[in-house]
């Protein structure tokens, strides 16, 4: 394949991927349906960030929540405060820096996250029910690769790239 036809094929694939991400709207609505109203999609992402840090033996901070959602620190702080008020997140003063706080999931927060995750997996299983298993595995591998590439885009990318990143994160 010549460089020109490879570039054209890549551009065609890029257009198809952008269209596929746009069509992911029904999946986003399914996610929203599975998440309790008081938590919301942003709260679900915050819970995931906190759980992921804990899984790696690290403490999550409000700044981690802000970074993951591409939102400001004050917005993330209010979001975490609401999750704390709802009994989903615990906040404790970081011993290494008393000005900072470490975030952990409460048992209720962990149970909610696990339930929503299991429900979402069941929904995706339904979508992939008539797929060849190799195709489903290939899709997962390629989506992970796409996510990796998107995550390496500079912070100053256009809003269309930020939207693609948000769509990808919401679909995971």
Q: Kindly report, residue by residue over 114-168, the tens digit of the pLDDT.
A: 998 998 899 889 989 999 999 999 999 998 998 888 878 876 344 444 444 444 4
pLDDT of residue 97: 74
Confidence band for 2, pLDDT divided at 50, 70 and 90: low
- Whether the Cβ atoms of residue 61 and residue 103 lie closer than 8 Å to each other: yes
pLDDT of 165: 46
Q: Where are the beta strands (DSSP E) in the chain?
A: 89-94, 97-105
- At 47-71, the pLDDT tens digits run 999 999 999 988 899 999 999 988 9
Question: Who has greater pLDDT, 17 or 32?
Answer: 17
Query: Range with the lowest mean pLDDT among 19-33, 85-99, 132-146?
Result: 19-33
Residue carrying structure tokens 């981690």: 64
Query: CB within 8 A of 45, min separation 6: which ones?
Result: 65, 68, 69, 169, 170
The residue that leads in pLDDT, 125 or 27, is 125
pLDDT above 90: residue 6: no
- pLDDT for 125 equals 92
Question: Above 50 in pLDDT, residue 170?
Answer: no
**Closest by alpha carbon to 36, among 82, 81, 72?**
82
CB 111 within 8 A of CB 124: no
Q: Which CATH architecture has domain 14-171?
A: Orthogonal Bundle (1.10)
């Amino acid at each position: 394949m010549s460089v020109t036809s490879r570039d054209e094929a890549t551009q065609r694939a890029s257009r198809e991927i952008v269209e596929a991400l746009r069509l992911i709207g029904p999946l986003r609505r399914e996610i929203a349906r599975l998440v309790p109203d008081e938590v919301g999609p942003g709260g679900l992402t915050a819970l995931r960030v906190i759980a992921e840090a804990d899984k790696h033996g690290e403490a999550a901070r409000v700044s981690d929540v802000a970074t993951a959602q591409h939102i400001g620190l004050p917005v993330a702080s209010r979001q975490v405060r609401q999750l704390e008020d709802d009994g989903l997140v615990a906040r404790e003063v970081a011993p290494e820096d008393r000005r900072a706080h470490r975030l952990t999931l409460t048992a209720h927060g962990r149970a909610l996250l696990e339930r929503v995750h299991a429900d979402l997996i069941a929904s995706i299983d339904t979508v992939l029910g008539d797929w060849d298993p190799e195709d489903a595995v290939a899709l997962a591998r390629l989506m992970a690769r796409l996510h990796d590439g998107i995550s390496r885009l500079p912070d100053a990318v256009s809003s269309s790239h930020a939207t693609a990143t948000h769509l990808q994160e919401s679909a995971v």
